[in-house]
Amino acid sequence: MAYLKPPAFVAMVFNPLAMKFGIGGAETLTVKGRSTGKTQSIPVIPIDVDGTKYVVSTRGEAQWVLNLRAAETLQIHSKGKTANYRATEVPVSERDQILAAYRHKAGKTVESYWKSLPNAKDHPAFRLDPL
């Protein structure tokens, strides 16, 4: 699977600011590391499709995706609130509507990722069910 590594500026400056201030609708996804057991936090833009919440990886097979597959549970922090979820990966054949909704919500900021990774298989998506 493909992966677009973020530039150092994004990883070290933009992502922490996005998580702190909710830039572009970002919320903080926290998941337990599959090898270390340490938690990893990353900004995501959750979407709602037909009453179900989803998260999408714009950069492909990111570490948080691999960790989430192993852990199956995560937390989403937003505006001082934390919610716990069980994640289920959406099969590639069922991602089109989710990815379209995500691209619409996230806007131009994510379009460059789809130019580099144009296939639905390159963008893991997870359904979030409250625990």
The model's pLDDT over 78-113, given as tens digits with 9 standing for 90+, comes to 988 999 999 999 999 999 999 999 999 998 888 889
Q: What is the pLDDT of residue 11?
A: 87
Under DSSP, is residue 122 helix (H, G, I), strand (E, B) or coil?
helix
Summarize the confidence of residues 109-126 as an average pLDDT.
92
pLDDT score recorded for residue 48? 96
Dig out the tokens for 59 from the structure. 């950069």
Q: Which residues pair with 126 in a beta bridge?
A: 55, 89
**What pLDDT sits at residue 9?**
84
Q: Name the residue ranges covered by the structural domains of the chain.
A: 8-130
Mean pLDDT of 25-31: 95
- The residue ranking higher by pLDDT, 21 or 117, is 117
Q: Distance (Å, rounded) from C-alpha 131 to C-alpha 124?
A: 21
Please report the pLDDT score of residue 88 as a whole number.
98
The per-residue DSSP string of 62-129 comes to -HHHHHHHHH-EEEEEETTEEEEEEEEEPPGGG-HHHHHHHHHHHGGGGHHHHHHS-SGGGS-EEEEE
Does 1 score more than 80 pLDDT? no
Tokens of 107: 């806007």
For the domain made up of 8-130, give the CATH fold. Pnp Oxidase; Chain A (2.30.110)
